Structure 1
Amino acid sequence: MTHIAHQWKQPLSQINSVVANIEADFEDKKQDSKKLEEHLNEIEKLTFYMSDTIENFKNYLWDDIIDFESNSKLKDTIKNIYGAGYKIL
């Protein structure tokens, strides 16, 4: 989770800045549909990046689980340490 939080800090800050720009443009009566669309596209781009970060992290963990499940020597060692009654995945 620490890695995800680290990877999300900058995009969240950027999203916050985009929202602040939308608010400022709206208050200054500078907000038109084209500018709003640009801001929303930027937010969408950032959220896709954040989604990819989660997906990459999930795949990384899944690969580790698969490696663990396929490593019978590691399983045997853990069973020997914790006893025959220890159930591994």
Structure 2
Amino acid sequence: QVLSQFRPSAERFLEVLAQILPELPHAELMWRLHFLIGSLAHTTASGKLICLMSGGACDPDDVEGLLERLTTYAAAGFQAPSR
């Protein structure tokens, strides 16, 4: 059920990524998208963990900061050379 709802968005996102990053094989784009989804899922499910692990230095309620950091992280991952 979830996959059927998520698939159209993921396929469209992959189409755009393939246009932006034509040098990356499809399988590599899939892995990178998989890792991005994992990052999103972990951050969403375990947001308070970063606060505990950082001794309060990281604020999971700072949504703007979180999105900036996640975007920077994901962009670097997608732009990294293929193995």
The structure in which a higher percent of residues are helix is 1
> What's the TM-score once normalised by structure 2's chain length?
0.35
> What's the TM-score once normalised by structure 1's chain length?
0.33
Q: Higher Cα Rg: structure 1 or 2?
A: 1
